[in-house]
Structure 1
Amino acid sequence: MSQIKITNLTFAYEGTYDNIFKNVSFQIDTNWKLGFTGRNGRGKTTFMRLLLGELSYTGSIHASVHFDYFPYAVADMSLTTREVIGNIEPHYEHWALCKELYQLELDEGILDRVFNTLSQGERTKVLLAILFLKSNNFLLIDEPTNHLDLEGRECVSNYLRRKKGFILISHDRMFLDHIIDHVLSINKTNIEIQKGNFSSWMQNKAYQDQFEIAENEKLLRDIHRLGESAKRTAGWSDLTEKSKFGSDVPDRGYVGHKAAKMMKRAKAISQRREKALEDKKKLLKNIESNDALEIKQADHFSNTYLVIDTLSASYGENVVLSDLTFKIEKGDRVAIIGANGSGKSSILKAIIQSLKLNAGISYSENEAIQDLHTSGNIKGAKDLVISYVSQDTSHLKGTLKEYALEHALDEGLFKSMLSKLDFDVIQFEKDIRFFSEGQKKKVLLAKSICDRAHLYIWDEPLNYVDVLSRVQLEDMILAYAPTMIFVEHDQAFIENIATNIIELG
């Protein structure tokens, strides 16, 4: 066991004036299973890059361990899995690798398969196995759940629960709760560490926020009362002082002493008020904005929005879906779940392709749809308007103003939604290409929220999106009850908002 000590850490990206971190100090025990949380764009991945020595900073980071980062970059996907592992960790022992693969529910035969033929979930598991082959390293695990299906998340969760000595970035609440024993949170004005899991941290934060709000209201009342009292006492002192100059005053010294005493009391009250003002400044700095999101769905005359009858789908000779039948009524929120490769996203793309709705879909997404071959029947209500959120964010570029113009969005409403999702004004002038992955996904979500659609089709909308924003989205959906069909792997999100679930075999 050893300590990682961060002292007076300050960092800002070159060419910017806003510090990501300023005079941050804390320490980490290398035996902890540390969950790392905070709003998108606060600097979680940046902090990991600082630990890895990839960025210059002021202050100090002292550690007696080496750091290793997940996910690894795989330069050549055409190599076998065994070769990929050997390139990343040349000195591994075969028995140790087989042990890790077994714990991740992977067969040893995967080693002789070409890495590019593995599913996203299998690749994630292999790269995690490599990570834990490295002994005496402190591990930095960045978003391992992206693109993992529910079964894969459970497997990886059980795997990490048996390990220790890492920082884990994830926005999946249940996943974090199952694994971690400490929480490192990047707040608005500081970084803090608490013992416990994510739920206990969330509860403690709620208690702290409630206390600060109540204390702030009390101080506001005290400040107003003390201000009025100081004015009255000072006024009485002035009147008393003036009265000593009257011709009928028998003892001017007594009156002057009384006026000075009253003035001293007024100054004491003013000092108490100044202290209350200082105490107030310390409050509310880390209370997160959870302003309610609003989605203005369009109304449709039909109660049945979509009917899917014996739908089958394939990419070339690869059949991903066979004979699926269901329908979507007004007010339904249908979650599609299943293992990776079971055809979840293909259903959404088949619906879009059938209804010939291209608005809001990038060129790359259209190309992917062109390769999709379907049979069966998809019938949508007449004049049905769909809003689509894709998994892909690579096509995003330009400023938010340009993006709003391109998609005929009300710029003010669009930016208002992003502000509620914790975008700072400084972000509004940046090129979207330089946003974090979570911020890019929020751009797509904000656009969809602003669309006046009948049916919202969201494909893994929560990838990279922080927990507090997930809660905002849940609250919005429950409040406005839009009609939706979506693919998502966040179990809490599914349980909270889905009215129907389609599970693919």
Structure 2
Amino acid sequence: MSLIKVTNLTFAYEGSYDNIFENVSFQIDTDWKLGFTGRNGRGKTTFLNLLLGKYEYGGHISANVQFEYFPYPVENKDDQTLDVVAGIYSDYVHWELARELSLLQVSEDVLYRPFDTLSNGEQTKVLLAALFLKENSFLLIDEPTNHLDLHARQLVGDYLKGKSGFILVSHDRSFLDRCVDHILSINRTNIEIQKGNFTDWRENKRRQDQYELAENEKLKKDIKRLEEAAKRTNDWSNEVEKTKYASHNSAAFIDRGYIGHKAAKMMKRSKSMERRQQSAIDEKSKLLKNIESSESLKITQLAYHKGRLAELDKVSIHYGDKTVCSDVSFTIGQGERVALIGRNGSGKSSLLKLILGESIPYDGTFRKGSQLRISYVSQDTSHLKGNLTEYAREHDIDESLFKAILRKLDFSRDQFEKDISAFSGGQKKKVLIARSLCEKVHLLIWDEPLNFVDVISRMQIEDLLLEHAPTILFVEHDREFCENVATKVVEL
């Protein structure tokens, strides 16, 4: 066991006015299985790059381990997988590699195939197995679950549960719960570490947020009460002070010394109230800094004139001699939330494209309602470019609503001025989702919409779908999202 110590870490990208990290200090035990979470754009990947020494920074990072980053960059994917492994760790022992692959349920045969011919899941597993062979290394694992199906996520999660000494960036709640024992979270104003899995961290966060909101309400009432009391006392003091200078024709005897003393006492009391008020304001300012904005989103979907929007009866899809799925039967009814699940390569995306109206070769019966309007969110975000105003105009959506949804999904106003091509992967996915929610349609079709999207935004989107119950057909490998959202599951 050794420690990774971060002391007064300060960092900002060149040309930026705002620090991503400012005087951040904490320490990590190298035996931990550390889950790393936080909103998109908060600096998770940046922090991993700082550990790797890629940027200049203020403060100090000390560690007695070598950092290894996942996904490992494979320059020539046409190489045999065995050569790729040797490029990662030339001193590996073959039986140890075979043992790791066996734990991940990967056949040794893949080692003798070109790396490019492996599935996404197989590539992920091979790279993890090779990196964990390195002794005295601490792995920085950056979103390994993207494009992994449910079965592969379970396997990789169980594998990581048996390991130690890593930081895992993931937005999949079930995956984090399966394999971590500490959580490192980037909050709005600080970084903190807690023992436990994601569910433990979330419950602690909920309790802390509730406490701070209750304290905030209490202090708001105290401040208002003190303001009113201070104003009354100040008014009384002024009125008493005026009597010192009453007309000389007054019949009453005026004891100016007594009146002055009384006015001074009232003024002192007023000042005391002001100090208590300021103290309450100071305490209030310490609260709510790390409460994440998770306002509910609003959508309206067009009602379709029939109860059934689409039907597939014993549909099989073929590409040449290859059958990607066979005898698939299901319907999409008004208000249904249909999850399409299955291993990678089982034909999920092909079925979505068939329903979208693309020319997909199929057998069986497929019916789709006439004049059915569909909004599609694809896996691919590489086409996104230009500014958000132009994007809204191009897709004929309400710009104000579009940007309001993005604000609620944690976009800063500065983000609105940037080119979309410069956004992070999660921010690009949010652009596609926000656009889809703004479109006036009868059916949403989303293909792996949550890849790269942070966990708080996932829960917001989940709540939205439960609250407004739009008709949606979706492919998603986040187990908890599927279990919470779907009214119907179609497994291929």
TM-score by shorter chain over 0.5: yes
Is structure 2 residue 336 aligned with structure 1 residue 332? yes
CA distance in 2, matches of 1:413, 1:244: 62
Question: Which residue of structure 2 lines up, in the alignment, with residue 42 of structure 1?
Answer: 42
> What are the Cα deviations for residues 46-73 of structure 1, in whole angstroms up to 9, with x where unaligned?
1101111111211211112111110011
Question: Which residue of structure 1 lines up, in the alignment, with residue 258 of structure 2?
Answer: 254
CA distance in 2, matches of 1:234, 1:295: 51
CA distance in 2, matches of 1:217, 1:327: 49
Which amino acid is the alignment partner of residue 257 of structure 1?
Answer: H
User: Displacement, 1:291?
Assistant: 1.1
User: Displacement, 1:21?
Assistant: 1.4
Question: Which residue of structure 1 lines up, in the alignment, with residue 174 of structure 2?
Answer: 174
Given candidates 260, 263, 270, the residue that maps to 1:266 is 270
In 2, are the aligned partners of 1:312 and 1:322 still within 8 Å (CA)?
Answer: yes
Given candidates 465, 469, 472, the residue that maps to 1:484 is 472
Alignment of 1:27-176 (within 5 A): 27-176=27-176
User: Displacement, 1:146?
Assistant: 0.9
CA distance in 2, matches of 1:213, 1:185: 20
User: Displacement, 1:493?
Assistant: 0.8
CA distance in 2, matches of 1:431, 1:75: 28
CA distance in 1, matches of 2:194, 2:329: 48
Given candidates 451, 457, 465, the residue that maps to 2:445 is 457
3-state SS of the aligned residue for 2:361?
Answer: strand
Question: Which residue of structure 2 lines up, in the alignment, with residue 433 of structure 1?
Answer: 421
Q: Which consecutive residues of structure 1, in runs of 5 or more, have no partner in the other structure?
A: 357-369
Question: Which residue of structure 1 lines up, in the alignment, with residue 460 of structure 2?
Answer: 472
Alignment of 1:335-484 (within 5 A): 335-352=339-356, 355=357, 372-484=360-472
Given candidates 297, 313, 329, the residue that maps to 1:293 is 297
User: Displacement, 1:153?
Assistant: 0.8
Is structure 2 residue 481 aligned with structure 1 residue 493? yes
CA distance in 2, matches of 1:483, 1:168: 34
In 2, are the aligned partners of 1:316 and 1:373 still within 8 Å (CA)?
Answer: no
CA distance in 1, matches of 2:146, 2:277: 51
User: Displacement, 1:463?
Assistant: 0.7
Question: Which residue of structure 2 lines up, in the alignment, with residue 361 of structure 1?
Answer: none
In 2, are the aligned partners of 1:34 and 1:183 still within 8 Å (CA)?
Answer: yes
CA distance in 2, matches of 1:119, 1:136: 29
> What are the Cα deviations for residues 227-257 of structure 1, in whole angstroms up to 9, with x where unaligned?
1111221222223233334564464333322
In 2, are the aligned partners of 1:313 and 1:322 still within 8 Å (CA)?
Answer: yes
In 2, are the aligned partners of 1:386 and 1:457 still within 8 Å (CA)?
Answer: yes
In 1, are the aligned partners of 2:88 and 2:131 still within 8 Å (CA)?
Answer: no
User: Displacement, 1:376?
Assistant: 2.9
Distance 1:345 1:237, change over 3 A: same
> What are the Cα deviations for residues 309-346 of structure 1, in whole angstroms up to 9, with x where unaligned?
33222334332112222221111211111111111111
Question: Which residue of structure 1 lines up, in the alignment, with residue 184 of structure 2?
Answer: 184
Question: Which residue of structure 2 lines up, in the alignment, with residue 236 of structure 1?
Answer: 236
Question: Which residue of structure 2 lines up, in the alignment, with residue 365 of structure 1?
Answer: none
In 2, are the aligned partners of 1:67 and 1:137 still within 8 Å (CA)?
Answer: yes
In 2, are the aligned partners of 1:308 and 1:327 still within 8 Å (CA)?
Answer: yes
> What are the Cα deviations for residues 78-135 of structure 1, in whole angstroms up to 9, with x where unaligned?
1111011111211211122111111111122221122111111111101111120111
- Provide the aligned length of Structure 1 versus Structure 2: 488
Which amino acid is the alignment partner of residue 271 of structure 1?
Answer: R
> What are the Cα deviations for residues 427-473 of structure 1, in whole angstroms up to 9, with x where unaligned?
01111111110111111111111111111111111111111111111
In 1, are the aligned partners of 2:349 and 2:447 still within 8 Å (CA)?
Answer: yes
3-state SS of the aligned residue for 1:217?
Answer: helix
CA distance in 2, matches of 1:452, 1:187: 35
CA distance in 2, matches of 1:191, 1:82: 39
CA distance in 1, matches of 2:377, 2:245: 81
3-state SS of the aligned residue for 1:140?
Answer: strand
In 2, are the aligned partners of 1:404 and 1:410 still within 8 Å (CA)?
Answer: yes
In 2, are the aligned partners of 1:289 and 1:422 still within 8 Å (CA)?
Answer: yes
In 1, are the aligned partners of 2:338 and 2:486 still within 8 Å (CA)?
Answer: yes
CA distance in 1, matches of 2:410, 2:227: 35
CA distance in 2, matches of 1:386, 1:237: 70
Give the stretch that moved more between structures: 7-16 or 377-386: 7-16
Give the stretch that moved more between structures: 321-330 or 70-79: 321-330
Which amino acid is the alignment partner of residue 284 of structure 1?
Answer: L
Question: Which residue of structure 1 lines up, in the alignment, with residue 282 of structure 2?
Answer: 278
User: Displacement, 1:375?
Assistant: 3.0
Question: Which residue of structure 1 lines up, in the alignment, with residue 325 of structure 2?
Answer: 321
> What are the Cα deviations for residues 355-385 of structure 1, in whole angstroms up to 9, with x where unaligned?
35xxxxxxxxxxxxx6x53333322101001
> What are the Cα deviations for residues 412-438 of structure 1, in whole angstroms up to 9, with x where unaligned?
111111111111110011111111101
In 2, are the aligned partners of 1:456 and 1:483 still within 8 Å (CA)?
Answer: yes
User: Displacement, 1:16?
Assistant: 2.1
Is structure 2 residue 5 aligned with structure 1 residue 5? yes
CA distance in 2, matches of 1:204, 1:188: 16
Give the stretch that moved more between structures: 196-205 or 2-11: 2-11
CA distance in 2, matches of 1:326, 1:153: 26
3-state SS of the aligned residue for 1:376?
Answer: strand
Normalising to structure 1: TM-score of the pair? 0.94
Question: Which residue of structure 2 lines up, in the alignment, with residue 360 of structure 1?
Answer: none
Question: Which residue of structure 2 lines up, in the alignment, with residue 198 of structure 1?
Answer: 198
CA distance in 2, matches of 1:376, 1:188: 53
3-state SS of the aligned residue for 1:34?
Answer: strand
CA distance in 2, matches of 1:495, 1:78: 38
Is structure 2 residue 306 aligned with structure 1 residue 302? yes
Give the stretch that moved more between structures: 244-253 or 382-391: 244-253
Question: Which residue of structure 2 lines up, in the alignment, with residue 208 of structure 1?
Answer: 208
Which amino acid is the alignment partner of residue 372 of structure 2?
Answer: L
